[in-house]
């Protein structure tokens, strides 16, 4: 049966696509605009928009498993279309925000939990992946790094930054073998690492010094809103960063348990993405 990868233009979606192709699977890639997809040879691509249910029938035709990413929009239409198509298993890319103690007060968590709950109530199997901070978030520093500086609020916040390929490897294993049904898996990198430590690693990998400039929470929130974050979201992120200056983020062994390999370090991520900061 075919495996559908939604959001195939995203960092994680593309990594899942590549890992499935490398494993010899029959893969179909989807995005809102399939013409914008650059996929490996032999991979079918299709336009699919979860907010337009009429686009889903063709995308799901003959599909047995789905890698899914969405934050609520269109989930009800997707569930109906997936059931009609005979989908057996959906692996959802969600967020560690739904696992936080105060997630009921979090807009981010509510958006992701709505999808988790819709899939849990669906007639097909589901597995939820709950990664924390992505190593790819540091790509947001590119403009600052070009100026020789990393600017961040709470630079000593220690997070379990995870490589997108580790998320993809977990998703790929589960999509292929149908394991971990009904489970929510908290995914992290191998160790808590601060933004200041990430900046030092990037400086070493890029071969040039990088100063660290601490922003006020207000300055950081303003920058996030300018990047397109809804105004209510930056305060949630900044509160989490403040908390993890006092107590490092949780680190789990899930990547190793599922894939049999240790999660990649931030240095490995930085070396692989050196060209992105050129």
Residue 102 has pLDDT above 90, yes or no: no
For residue 110, the model assigns a pLDDT of: 85
Structure confidence at residue 73 as a pLDDT band (50, 70, 90): confident
Query: To 10 degrees, the CA torsion angle through 51, 75, 225, 216?
Result: -170
d(CA 111, CA 94): 9
d(CA 232, CA 229): 8
pLDDT per position as a tens digit, 18-28:
999 999 999 99
Return the structure tokens found at 160.
């379990």
Return the structure tokens found at 70.
């969405």
Domains of the chain plus CATH, in order, are: 2-135+161-189+250-263 (3.40.50.720)
The stretch 95-108 carries a mean pLDDT of 73
Q: What Rg do the C-alpha atoms of the chain give, in angstroms?
A: 19
pTM of the model: 0.94
Structure confidence at residue 156 as a pLDDT band (50, 70, 90): very high
């Amino acid at each position: 049966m075919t495996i559908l990868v939604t959001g195939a233009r995203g960092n994680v979606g593309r990594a899942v696509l590549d890992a499935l192709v490398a494993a010899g699977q029959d893969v179909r890639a989807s995005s809102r605009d399939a013409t914008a997809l650059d996929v490996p040879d032999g991979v079918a691509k299709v336009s699919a928009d979860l907010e337009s249910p009429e686009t889903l029938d063709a995308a799901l035709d003959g599909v047995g498993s789905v890698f899914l990413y969405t934050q609520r929009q269109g989930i009800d239409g997707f569930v109906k279309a997936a059931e009609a198509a005979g989908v057996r298993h959906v692996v959802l890319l969600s967020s560690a925000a739904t696992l936080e103690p105060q997630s009921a007060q979090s807009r981010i968590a509510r958006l992701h939990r709505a999808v988790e709950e819709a899939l849990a109530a669906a007639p097909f199997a589901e597995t939820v992946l709950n990664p924390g901070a992505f190593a790819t978030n540091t790509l947001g520093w590119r403009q600052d790094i070009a100026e020789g500086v990393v600017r961040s609020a709470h630079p000593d916040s220690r997070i379990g930054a995870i490589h997108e390929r580790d998320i993809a490897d977990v998703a790929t294993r589960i999509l292929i073998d149908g394991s971990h049904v009904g489970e929510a898996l908290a995914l992290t990198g191998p160790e808590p690492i601060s933004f200041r430590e990430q900046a030092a690693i990037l400086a070493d990998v890029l071969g040039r010094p990088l100063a660290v400039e601490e922003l006020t929470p207000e300055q950081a929130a303003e920058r996030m809103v300018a990047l397109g974050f809804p105004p209510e979201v930056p305060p949630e992120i900044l509160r989490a960063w403040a908390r993890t200056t006092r107590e490092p983020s949780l680190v789990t062994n899930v990547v190793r348990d599922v894939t049999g390999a240790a999660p990649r370090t931030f240095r490995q991520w930085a070396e692989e993405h050196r060209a992105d900061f050129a």
